[in-house]
Amino acid sequence: MSLSHVDPNNKAAMVDVSAKPETVRHALAEARVTLNEAVLAQFDGSDLISKKGPVFQTAILAGVMGAKQTSSLIPLCHPLPLDDCKIDITLDGRDAVVRCSCKTTARTGVEMEALTGASIAALTLHDMCKALDPGMVIHGVRLISKTGGKSDFHAP
């Protein structure tokens, strides 16, 4: 098996997907942000409230915007029209769990968009809460599932 974005001369190359059929593609990704007690104390039951505004709602918007810009951020990523992008943020103990679900009808998968959306939302959480906890840790950025292509993937 070889890397898909490396040509026979070991140079970076965009994958040619022109011969592939368009199919409905879906991907789900996750990122986690560990919060301290000072940040958690700002939780009002549905969102974290900071001096900058509603943290979760702002992070959701930033994550969707990030997912839409993926091909501008990742050099060999194909530009994809997103049919849907949803971001959900929940608390799991001290972790804010960010999940990004992306869907498209295209010749290539939408995994990078989901990963980018989750990552940008997590970075926005960090930015909005750093005054209370500059040592927040973003971790566990991972693909949970992808469907619709040559092979499906579901994380254990």
- Using alpha carbons, select from 56, 106, 61 the residue that is nearest to residue 80: 106
pLDDT of residue 23: 97
Highest mean pLDDT among 8-22, 46-60, 81-95: 81-95
Point out the catalytic residue in the list 84, 127, 133, 152. Answer: 127
How far, rounded to the nearest angstrom, does the alpha carbon of residue 153 sit from its chain's CA centroid?
Answer: 16
Amino acid present at 9: N
The answer to whether the CB of 55 falls within 8 A of the CB of 129 is: yes
Domain 23-148 has CATH 3.30.70.640: yes
Amino acid present at 111: E
The answer to whether the CB of 33 falls within 8 A of the CB of 137 is: yes
Which three-class secondary structure string do you get for the chain?
A: CCCCCECCCCCECCCCCCCCCCEEEEEEEEEEEECCHHHHCCECCCCEEECCEEHHHHHHHHHHHHHHCHHHHCCCCCCCCCCEEEEEEEEECCEEEEEEEEEEEECCCCHHHHHHHHHHHHHHHHHHHCCCCCCCEEEEEEEEEEECCCCCEECC
Instruction: Give mean pLDDT, residues 22-42.
Output: 97
Label residue 131 by pLDDT band (50, 70, 90).
very high
Label residue 67 by pLDDT band (50, 70, 90).
very high
Give yes or no: 92 in active site: no
Label residue 147 by pLDDT band (50, 70, 90).
very high
pLDDT digits (tens, 9 = 90+) for 85-126: 999 999 999 999 999 999 999 999 999 999 999 999 999 999
pLDDT at 1 over 80: no
pLDDT of residue 3: 75
pLDDT of residue 7: 80
Tokens standing for residue 118: 């989750």
- Mean pLDDT rounded to a whole number for the chain: 94
Say what percent of the chain tops pLDDT 90: 81
